[in-house]
Amino acid sequence: MIEFKGVTKKFGSTIAVDNVTMTFPKGKIIGLLGPNGSGKSTTLKMIASLNKPDQGEITIDGKSPSKETRETLAYLPEIDYLYPWMTIEGAGKFMKSFYDDWNEEKFQSLMKFLNLEPQMIIKKISKGMRAKAKLLLVFSRNAKLVLLDEPLSGIDIFTRDQIIDTIIQDYCEGEQTIILSTHEIHEVESLLDYVVFMHQGTILRQGEAEDLRSEENKSLVELMKEVYRNENI
């Protein structure tokens, strides 16, 4: 379980996350949803211990984000962080040297599933392939907590389906927690157990996807449109 208590993060005069108190439940696929600039990436970076809150406290199973918690989580950043000169296989070896939870068997089978080749060089492959390579490196670890920042951004619909299939392929409900940020909820609606709607650094609404759907008698896409319409977005 990840808890935020009065968490604020500022960049100069911009308040990226504004006094947020909330809980991300364990063992679920959680959608962190919201328009551009609502604070999704900053939230994920603070969980990944890449940014520190200016105020408040974050705990992951009772521990503050640190080098130790970072080693047990897998984080897919929005940016292209892969070394351009590396091959897919080389990138795998690189990650393997860092993480004890690396699963070589999973790496090999997922590489085939994603139609990636060991000798492909990162700088020579397409953007969609690089997105798949990033996902390959994240899901080749047996991490209990997976943070995916905009995994579908700029990816064509065929590759999107493959990425969604990868996310659910080995997902073990109750054991692994996946938090994924996106503003493209229609693509991931069927995947999500739990949703958090963010806007201007605050949480507008959160809850079990099923409960929200039945309470409101609406799909999450319709609900999201309504939530943000009320905020005049």
Question: Which stretch in 29-37, 128-136, 159-167, 221-229 sits in contact with ligand ATP by CB under 6 A?
Answer: 29-37
Q: Per CB under 6 A, does 37 bind ligand ATP?
A: yes
The neighbour count for residue 15, using CB atoms within 10 Å, is 17
Q: Measuring CA to CA, which residue among 140, 197, 202 is closest to residue 166? A: 140
Which residue number, 41 or 166, has a Cβ lying nearer to ligand ATP? 41
Q: How far is the CB of 14 from ligand ATP (least distance, A)?
A: 5
Contact criterion met (CB below 8 Å) for 43 and 2: no
**Distances from the Cα of 231 to the Cαs of 21, 34, 101, 197, 205, in angstroms?**
20, 12, 43, 12, 12
41 binds ligand ATP (CB under 6 A): yes
Q: Residue 42 interacts with ligand ATP (CB under 6 A)? A: yes
Taking the complex as a whole, how short is the minimal distance between the CB of residue 199 and ligand ATP, in angstroms? 9
Single-letter residue type at 20: V
Please report whether residue 197 would count as binding ligand ATP according to CB under 6 A.
no
Stretch that binds ligand ATP, among 39-47, 118-126, 135-143, 172-180 (CB under 6 A): 39-47
Q: Does 77 bind ligand ATP (CB under 6 A)?
A: no
**Residue 8 near residue 19, CB atoms below 8 Å:** yes
| Of 8-16, 23-31, 132-140, 207-215: span binding ligand ATP (CB under 6 A) | 8-16
167: nearest Cα among 204, 184, 186, 192 = 192
Q: Which is nearer to ligand ATP, 36 or 119 (CB)?
A: 36
Place of tokens 């492959």: 125
H/E element holding 46?
Answer: helix 40-47
Contact residues: ligand ATP, CB under 6 A: 11, 14, 16, 34, 36-42, 78, 183
